[in-house]
Amino acid sequence: MQPARAGGRTRGGGIPPVVAVKAYVAADVATAQATAAQLENARLSYQAQLAGDYFELHGIDGDVDLFQRTVNSYKDYLDLTRTRFNAGVASDADVAQAETQLDTTQAQLIDLEVARAQFEHAIAILTGKPPSGLSISKLILKTPPPAIPGAVPSELLERRPDIAAAERQMAAANEEIGFATAAYYPNITLSASAGLESSSITQWFTWPSRFWSVGPSLTETLFDAGRRRAQVAEARASYDTTVAAYRQTVLVAFQQIEDNLAAMRVLEREAAAQAQAVRSAERSLDVSTEQYKAGTADYLQVITTQAIALQDERSALDILTRRMTASVFLIEALGGGWNTSALPSRNVIVHGQ
């Protein structure tokens, strides 16, 4: 995927000035393409951040719904405990425990409003609106992300703007080797006054002096104590740096893809296991409740199973949110919907070279 090094010889012969001009043009076009790719990379990053915040916000909506249902359930348990206390079959400690459980859960429910407001404000900023100017309706995530394919072709990485930018920077540095090398050979342009316009004998006689006038410039270019050689070496070192940066960008891209593919695979299995844990916790709570009503278990056992059931259900919601955000990051790692047509065409770099 690396372009061949540009440039010519550094000793002997000559490079036409047009070659240096084309090298400058090619380098500038490659730089423009790299800049356009960097812009697309920033846009893709913000889009992924927006999508991630969106799923995080609605993940909180799921937590709010869970805690609201839990608060309603705890109110029923508190009523049950008070009834049993009034009947003399439960202690005031049971009532206090039920009240504590309810009050703690209500406080947690209220605290979720802070996190939701922060994500809503972040989404507003990303969409160019003031925080107070955006209100997003509540939505509970229920559908998991689509199944990932068994294999993801590496060619999809070509859509990544940061990879395209690194490749174009490498191409620009490659062209700079060409015009740094061409600088060994001065751009001498003979005007009409140098004797090409007229055949007058007097103008012909002046040619040696005019040729002599450009002689020192030529000598200065060819004998500059290694300055041009150092410039070429610098250009080649810069090129090697961009090659290393390009390779590192590709390696990081592969890592991000593998990370998110692994996350989605693992989270899918974890979601199945957590769903079973939720079912088991609900069954345990039902059993504990019936035992408490029958007087064969104290209220501490009920509270313990309630806490476990709430934690398991919240973990299940959290896993679903993480699966959705992992799918967003996978799409970002694959380049998203970025289209190479958004960049200046490479075909305009050189014509007839």
The pLDDT, as a whole number, for residue 173 is: 77
Angle between helices 299-333 and 17-86 (to 10 degrees): 170
3-state SS assignment for residue 283: helix
How far out from the chain centre does Cα 61 lie? Answer: 25
The pLDDT, as a whole number, for residue 103 is: 96
Confirm if 174 and 6 have CB atoms less than 8 A apart. Answer: yes
Q: Determine the Cα–Cα distance for residues 7 and 217; give it in Å rounded to an integer.
A: 22
User: What is the extent of the structural domain holding 122?
Assistant: 17-143+157-186+221-344
In the predicted model, is pLDDT for residue 290 greater than 80? yes
Sign of the torsion angle spanned by Cα atoms 198, 203, 205, 211: negative
In the predicted model, is pLDDT for residue 207 greater than 90? no
3-state SS assignment for residue 196: coil
- Is 3 part of a structural domain of the chain? no
Comparing CA positions, the residue from 283, 286, 281, 289 lying closest to residue 307 is 281
The pLDDT, as a whole number, for residue 218 is: 41
The pLDDT, as a whole number, for residue 86 is: 93
Question: How would residue 167 be classed by pLDDT, with cut points 50, 70 and 90?
Answer: confident
Summarised one tens digit per residue, pLDDT across range 235-269 is 777 777 877 888 887 888 888 888 888 888 899 99
- Is 197 part of a structural domain of the chain? no
- Report the number of distinct structural domains present in the chain: 1
Confirm if 60 and 123 have CB atoms less than 8 A apart. Answer: no
In the predicted model, is pLDDT for residue 93 greater than 50? yes
Summarised one tens digit per residue, pLDDT across range 316-329 is 999 999 999 999 98
- Is 6 part of a structural domain of the chain? no
Give Dmax over CA atoms of the chain in angstroms. Answer: 133
Tokens of 215: 């002689």
Summarised one tens digit per residue, pLDDT across range 132-142 is 889 999 999 99
DSSP character for 349? Answer: S
- Is 135 part of a structural domain of the chain? yes
Sign of the torsion angle spanned by Cα atoms 211, 212, 216, 218: positive
Summarised one tens digit per residue, pLDDT across range 296-317 is 889 999 999 999 999 999 999 9
In the chain, pLDDT over 90 holds for what percent of residues? 40
* 5 Cβ contact list (under 8 Å, min separation 6): 174, 177, 236, 239
Question: How would residue 2 be classed by pLDDT, with cut points 50, 70 and 90?
Answer: very low
pTM: 0.70
Question: How would residue 337 be classed by pLDDT, with cut points 50, 70 and 90?
Answer: very low
Q: Which residue reads 């740094």 in tokens?
A: 180
* 260 Cβ contact list (under 8 Å, min separation 6): 326, 327, 329, 330, 333
Tokens of 191: 């005007």
Task: For residue 239, give the amino acid letter.
Answer: Y
* 323 Cβ contact list (under 8 Å, min separation 6): 144, 145, 264, 267, 268, 271
Question: How would residue 158 be classed by pLDDT, with cut points 50, 70 and 90?
Answer: low
Sign of the torsion angle spanned by Cα atoms 26, 27, 32, 38: positive
In the predicted model, is pLDDT for residue 206 greater than 70? no
Confirm if 164 and 250 have CB atoms less than 8 A apart. Answer: no
Q: Determine the Cα–Cα distance for residues 64 and 67; give it in Å rounded to an integer.
A: 5
Give the range among 24-28, 90-94, 115-119 with minimum mean pLDDT. Answer: 24-28
Tokens of 244: 């290393």
Question: Mapped to the 3 state alphabet, what secondary structure does 254-277 carry?
Answer: HHHHHHHHHHHHHHHHHHHHHHHH
Q: Determine the Cα–Cα distance for residues 263 and 329; give it in Å rounded to an integer.
A: 10
Q: Which residue reads 């056992």 in tokens?
A: 301
Range of 159-168, 236-245, 297-306, 330-339 with top mean pLDDT: 297-306
- Is 1 part of a structural domain of the chain? no
Q: Determine the Cα–Cα distance for residues 134 and 18; give it in Å rounded to an integer.
A: 57
Averaged pLDDT for residues 191-208: 41
DSSP character for 15? Answer: -
In the predicted model, is pLDDT for residue 94 greater than 70? yes
The pLDDT, as a whole number, for residue 227 is: 66
- Is 198 part of a structural domain of the chain? no
In the predicted model, is pLDDT for residue 285 greater than 80? yes
The pLDDT, as a whole number, for residue 171 is: 76
- Is 83 part of a structural domain of the chain? yes
- Is 52 part of a structural domain of the chain? yes
> The domain that contains 57 carries what CATH number?
1.20.1600.10
